[in-house]
Structure 1
Amino acid sequence: MARSTNTQFAVAVHVLTYLAGREDHRPVSSDELSQSTNVNAVYVRRVLGPLRAAGLVRSRPGVHGGSELATDPRHITLDQVWRLLQGDDPLLGLHGPDPACAVGRSVQRSLTALNTAVAAALTAELQHYTVHDVMQGVQPPTTSPSGTTPSA
């Protein structure tokens, strides 16, 4: 099974959840976040940038500085985090076929339309979950093979 090479969303959710769970509310260094997420501190800082720009995280410089949550985790929806980090990047790994190829043009149009539909479905689902939900260990509803939620 292919793995996504863009882990920024997962790292961002991890970082936000880690910051939200801090009982001492002290700023957390990118080194500590790096250790928790198991990625390089530079990568953590790259992920923190859009979160900071959106007002979800604030950072304090200096030896005792670091990052802290700037808003209630109940108000941070996962679709908001997704949009900050994924933006308009295609989900389906679209490629650029030869423009002279009729098949390539047709496939590209179809995959672009499908990508738009998949992205809309993804963000629609993510809007139902918050960082607080992740802290609580939320489990998505179970669906049947037909895609419908079974009734009780």
Structure 2
Amino acid sequence: MNSRFTMAAHIVAMLSKCACSDAGPLTSEAMARSIQTNPVVVRRLLGDLARAGLVETKRGARGGVTLAKRSDEITLRDIYEAVEEGSEIFGRHPVGPAPDCDIGPCVAQYLEGVFGRAEAALKESLERTTVAQMSSDLTALFQSLSPPEDPKG
């Protein structure tokens, strides 16, 4: 797995925060600054998220990106499948085992079963977390990491 899911989750978390604070749409440039990547990378991810029905984009002076659904209706699995569909979590042997290897085909077949179970477990775990829950957890984490306010002002 590459970093596409992580960046997409970051994008959706930002959009959720904006939706909760009524801050309006975000631009790909603002998201790119937060993620520390090029806006083109963000736009590609936004395209995947939009095709999955998770975000909406609006062009123009007051344009930007917003969530297409409520944050409690979007799971991390939705985000994962929007940006990682078709990619492999685990790398396979690039050309397969040697044809004259006795153990190679058995190892490959065995690992396919292991990889399948691991991928199913990952998707089940992602399904259990909504963007609303992630946002709540991130807010709590942020508050726990912030220094306490000085009562003297």
**What is the percentage of aligned positions where both structures have the same residue?**
30
Secondary structure (helix, strand or coil) at the match of 1:137 reads: helix
Aligned-CA RMSD value: 1.8
Using the alignment, how far apart are the partners of 2:25 and 2:126 within structure 1?
27
Map of 1:131 onto structure 2: 131
For these two proteins, the number of residue pairs brought into alignment is 135
Match of 1:12 in 2: 8
**Contact 1:9–1:82 under 8 Å retained in 2:** yes
What pairs up with 1:1-40 in 2 under 5 angstroms? 4=1, 6-22=2-18, 23-40=21-38
| SS, match of residue 137 in structure 2 | coil
Q: By percentage of residues, which structure has more helix? A: 2
Report deviation, 1:64.
3.0
1:38 Cα shift? Answer: 1.5
Consecutive aligned runs of 4 or more in structure 1 exceeding 6 Å deviation = none
Unaligned regions of 5+ residues in structure 1, if any? 140-152
After superposition, residues 43-82 of structure 1 pair within 5 angstroms as 43-82=41-80
Helix, strand or coil for the counterpart of 2:49? helix
1:31 and 1:125 map into 2 onto residues whose CA distance is 31
* 1:76–1:130 contact (8 Å) kept in structure 2: yes
| Separation in 2, partners of 1:72, 1:92 | 32
Q: Which region of structure 1 is more displaced relative to structure 2, 33-42 or 57-66?
A: 57-66
What is the rounded CA distance, in whole Å, between the counterparts of 2:28 and 2:114 in structure 1? Answer: 37
| Structure 2 gap ranges (5+) | 141-153
- For the 8 Å contact 1:56–1:71, the answer to whether it is kept is yes
Task: Normalising by structure 2, report the TM-score.
Answer: 0.80
Q: Which of structures 1 and 2 has the bigger CA Rg?
A: 2
The corresponding residue for 1:118 is 118
Superposition deviation, residue 99 in structure 1: 4.9
- For 1:94 and 1:13, the matched residues in 2 are separated by 26
CA drift of 1:98 comes to 3.5
* CA–CA distance in structure 1, aligned partners of residues 29 and 43 of structure 2: 9
Instruction: Report the residue type matching 1:133 in the other structure.
Output: Q
